[in-house]
Amino acid sequence: MPRRSLLADFHSPGHGPVSHMQVCMSLAAITENDYTVPALFRGLTIIEMFNSRDRVLTVQDFADHLGVSTSSIYRIVTTLTEMNYLDKVAKNTYQLGPQVISNGFSYLASRDVVDIAMPHLNTLRNTVSMSCHLSIREGQEAVYIYRSFASQRLSVNVPIGTRIPCHCSAMGRVLLTGLNDAELDSLYQHVRLDGYSVSAPRTLPELKQTVQQDSIQGWVEHQSDFATAIACALRDHHNQIVAAINVSGPDALMEDPHQKEVVRNALLATAQRISFELGNLRKMSEKIKPR
pLDDT tens column, 143-195:
999 999 888 777 788 889 899 999 999 999 999 999 999 999 999 988 888 87
* 186 Cβ neighbours under 8 A, 6+ residues apart: none
Amino acid at 27: L
What is the rounded average pLDDT for all residues in the chain?
81
Q: Is the pLDDT higher at 243 or at 54?
A: 243
Which of 28, 25, 66, 23 minimizes the C-alpha distance to 44?
Answer: 66
Global pTM? Answer: 0.62
Distance CA 236, CA 252 (A): 35
pLDDT in tens, 280-291: 655 555 544 444
Beta partners for residue 86, in sequence order: 96
* 244 Cβ neighbours under 8 A, 6+ residues apart: 134, 135, 136, 142, 170, 171, 172, 174, 175, 231, 232, 233, 234
pLDDT of residue 283: 55
Q: Please return the burial class of 7, using the count of CB atoms within 10 Å of its CB with bins 0-12, 13-18 and 19+.
A: middle
Distance CA 288, CA 291 (A): 9
CB crowding 40-49: b at 16 or more within 10 Å, else e: ebbbbbbeeb
- Lowest-confidence segment of 23-37, 41-55, 268-282 by average pLDDT: 23-37
16: pLDDT strictly greater than 70: no
233: pLDDT strictly greater than 70: yes
Q: Mean pLDDT across the stretch 196-222?
A: 91
Q: Is the pLDDT higher at 124 or at 21?
A: 124
* 252 Cβ neighbours under 8 A, 6+ residues apart: 154
pLDDT in tens, 122-150: 999 999 999 999 999 999 999 999 999 88
> Which range, 15-19, 195-199, 222-226, has the best average confidence (pLDDT)?
222-226
Q: Is the pLDDT higher at 14 or at 151?
A: 151
Model confidence at 31, pLDDT cuts 50, 70, 90, reads very low
> Which range, 49-53, 60-64, 199-203, 280-284, has the best average confidence (pLDDT)?
60-64
CATH superfamily of 102-288: GAF domain (3.30.450.40)
Determine whether domain 6-96 maps to CATH 1.10.10.10.
yes
221: pLDDT strictly greater than 90: yes
What residues does each domain of the chain span? 6-96, 102-288
Which of 245, 236, 238, 248 minimizes the C-alpha distance to 281?
Answer: 236
